[in-house]
Copies of this chain bind each other. A is one copy, B any other.
């Protein structure tokens, strides 16, 4: 049997320097995980480097320009036709106001404790629960 292909998705945990992280809520019309808390990011376009892809996705989904600071962890999810590998990066916003795209309908700056208790998309829960309280 041919194995399912793996695709890579890069996600940003954007912190505010005071122990809060930006979570964005998936719109009710989302095909997957509607209404659950998500982190900005997504798949690489063809030929795109992972850092450029993440910076682009964050800008599209939040309006923020970020600087990538650190690797936080990895995760995985399985879809009917493929598997997704997630790479989580700690990032810092260089200023700007959050402006969401149509994919998300709310945002919140949450502490590690709040994220651990929030209805986060299942494939990101382990990462959200590994965040230590306080500034990263």
Contacts from A to B (Cβ < 8 Å): 3, 5-8, 44, 46-47, 49-51, 67-76, 85-89
Given contacts A85-B89, A87-B74, contact A3 B47 (CB under 8 A): no
B87 touches A76 (CB 8 A): no
Choose from B47, B49, B86 the contact partner of A8 (Cβ within 8 Å).
Answer: B49
A86 touches B67 (CB 8 A): no
Given contacts A7-B49, A8-B49, A49-B7, contact A75 B71 (CB under 8 A): yes
Number of copies: 2
Q: Tell me the nearest residue of chain B to A47, going by C-beta.
A: B47
Q: Which 5 A-B pairs have CB atoms at the shortest separation, nearest pair first?
A: A47-B47, A74-B74, A71-B76, A8-B50, A6-B51
A73 touches B70 (CB 8 A): no
Please, which residues of chain B bring their CB within 8 A of the CB of A47? 46-47
Q: Tell me the nearest residue of chain B to A2, going by C-beta.
A: B67
Please, which residues of chain B bring their CB within 8 A of the CB of A67? 3
Q: Tell me the nearest residue of chain B to A46, going by C-beta.
A: B47
Please, which residues of chain B bring their CB within 8 A of the CB of A50? 6, 8, 85
A71 touches B70 (CB 8 A): no
